[in-house]
Amino acid sequence: MTDVDVIKVTGGVRLAGEVGVVGAKNSALKLMAVALLASGQSEITNVPRITDIALMGEVLRRLGATVDFEADVVRVDVPERLHPEADYDLVRRLRASICVLGPLLARCGEVRVAHPGGDAIGSRGLDMHVNGLAKMGADITGEHGFVVASAPSGLHGARISLDFPSVGATENLVMAAVLARGTTVIDNVAREPEIVDICEMLNAMGAQIEGAGSAELTVHGVTSLNPVTHATIGDRIVAGTWAFGAAMTQGDVTVLGCDPRWLEIALDKIAQAGGQIDHGEDSFRVRMPDRPRAVDIRTLPFPGFATDLLPMAIGMASVAEGMSMITENIFDGRFMFAEELKRLGADIKIEGHHAMVRGRERLSCAEVTASDIRAGAGLVIAGLCGDGITTVRAVHHIDRGYPNFVDDLRTLGVEVIRAETPADPVYTL
């Protein structure tokens, strides 16, 4: 039986102090894929040291690139010729690795990428990726769990309209379009700050992209790109986690390294709940002097409330005064987290994609299990609102999105330990 790591937190603590945020996981992973579009060495700075980054590094190595890590810097040295197949054993562990589809097709004229895995948070199809690349001249099929695409004559510009502002589809199509012949116009694209970050790196490499941050991107294809050095933007989801942590524990937390404009809706909801928000240029402070008040929240594509912050929203609602309605509009599996939160005494009723949450003054302690990155962090923070020691299992999920999570908790005044415990036994007939 293999031991597994758990995090144990003692409840009844208010978060207080300063905490720094490093580069955004959801940006850094894709910037590493962007590097594939230019031969030579690109350098990406302010990269979080998390397991997903290490996995992405191995994905790129198997494609033929040389990847080196040093502190918060990743160097990706890309050869003239890449291996156009992304192996199943890695891709299934990291959904973000599907973003190599666009760059490999643009560089190699062919690609074979396994269907991705990732967090258990609901269905995330590849239809928009496939349909958009097909409009750009790619022949795409599926075989034995792989997406297989080819464009022997190269990709060409097209007009593409996305059914939904998918982050992944936007990323793949933009990365493919920068080396396509002619002009590609992509309508109803994702507007997340991470998309803007990708476009800024691509433009620095010599791409010609207009409209980053708006609902329409215009990409004028170029024949080649050059390697660059680029700094990753701060992680707004990690920053938002600490913001909700301050609100839930009636704390006082200053978050450094994240532009508060990227969390405008989330911080506004905390303010509606009674929080006091101070905005800085690349920082913000959240104070919650009293028990938070109930607020209704619904997730939407950026600039709406981020689905990745849903566990924290439900957590705040669980200790708020009154009844909150939390609505999930992005992923149909996000409410898996709610079942674990109920084990901490939360009063939650799920109806379709709505969660009705009646707040309690305090939660209780229990052993719970993380189902994904954000659920894991949300359960740890919720444990701070309990009356004893809460143990969170499967914390390897947290490692995929939060560097130095336990150290940051200690910095904010939490009594926390990370320890090994025996894994659950496996019974067979």
Residues in contact with 428: Cβ distance below 8 Å, sequence separation at least 6, in sequence order: none
* 298 labeled part of a ligand binding site: no
**17 and 38 both lie in a single domain:** no
Q: What is the pLDDT of residue 427?
A: 41
Q: What is the pLDDT of residue 125?
A: 66
**286 and 192 both lie in a single domain:** no
Q: What is the pLDDT of residue 336?
A: 87
Residue 427 lies in a domain: no
Residue 429 lies in a domain: no
Per-chain mean pLDDT for the chain? 92
pLDDT digits (tens, 9 = 90+) for 123-137: 446 889 999 999 999
**250 and 205 both lie in a single domain:** no
400 vs 271, more confident: 271
Domain containing 32 equals 25-231
Q: What is the pLDDT of residue 120?
A: 43
In this predicted structure, the answer to whether residue 66 has a pLDDT above a threshold of 60 is yes
The residue among 203, 231, 259 that closes a domain is: 231
Q: What is the pLDDT of residue 424?
A: 60
Assign residue 34 the CATH number of its domain.
Answer: 3.65.10.10
Pick the range with the lowest mean pLDDT from 22-26, 36-40, 110-114, 352-356. Answer: 110-114
* 25 labeled part of a ligand binding site: yes
The residue-averaged pLDDT of 206-228 equals: 98
* 8 labeled part of a ligand binding site: no
Q: What is the pLDDT of residue 59?
A: 93
Residue 316 lies in a domain: yes
**275 and 223 both lie in a single domain:** no
Pick the range with the lowest mean pLDDT from 48-57, 171-180, 295-304. Answer: 48-57
**281 and 364 both lie in a single domain:** yes
**257 and 147 both lie in a single domain:** no
Phi first, then psi, for residue 243 (nearest 5°) are -65, -45
**240 and 362 both lie in a single domain:** yes
pLDDT digits (tens, 9 = 90+) for 373-384: 999 999 999 999
Order of strands across the sheet with 85-86?
A: 85-86, 110-114, 146-150, 139-143
Q: How far apart are CA 244 and CA 254, in angstroms?
A: 12
Q: What is the pLDDT of residue 429?
A: 41
* 330 labeled part of a ligand binding site: yes
Q: Which residues are catalytic?
A: 119
**79 and 160 both lie in a single domain:** yes
Q: What is the number of structural domains in the chain?
A: 2
Q: Do residues 137 and 153 touch, judged by C-beta distance below 8 A? A: yes
Q: Do residues 363 and 318 touch, judged by C-beta distance below 8 A? A: yes
**275 and 393 both lie in a single domain:** yes
**218 and 263 both lie in a single domain:** no
pTM value is: 0.92
CA distances to 33, 213, 256, 393 from 165, rounded to whole Å, are: 20, 12, 29, 34
Residue 368 lies in a domain: yes
In this predicted structure, the answer to whether residue 119 has a pLDDT above a threshold of 50 is no
Residue 277 lies in a domain: yes
pLDDT digits (tens, 9 = 90+) for 291-328: 999 999 999 999 999 999 999 999 999 999 999 999 99
In this predicted structure, the answer to whether residue 406 has a pLDDT above a threshold of 70 is yes
The residue-averaged pLDDT of 335-349 equals: 94
| 193 cis-preceded (ω within 30 degrees of 0) | no
**200 and 319 both lie in a single domain:** no
Residue 191 lies in a domain: yes
**318 and 185 both lie in a single domain:** no
The residue among 231, 253, 270 that closes a domain is: 231
Percent of the chain past pLDDT 70, that is, above it, reads 95
In this predicted structure, the answer to whether residue 387 has a pLDDT above a threshold of 80 is yes
In this predicted structure, the answer to whether residue 286 has a pLDDT above a threshold of 50 is yes
Residue type, 80: E
**Dihedral Cα 407, 409, 413, 417, nearest 10 deg:** -70
Residue 95 lies in a domain: yes
The residue among 216, 231, 246 that closes a domain is: 231
Q: Do residues 21 and 238 touch, judged by C-beta distance below 8 A? A: yes
Residue 266 lies in a domain: yes
Q: How far apart are CA 69 and CA 277, in angstroms?
A: 36
Percent of the chain past pLDDT 90, that is, above it, reads 84
β-pair partners for 218: 185, 210
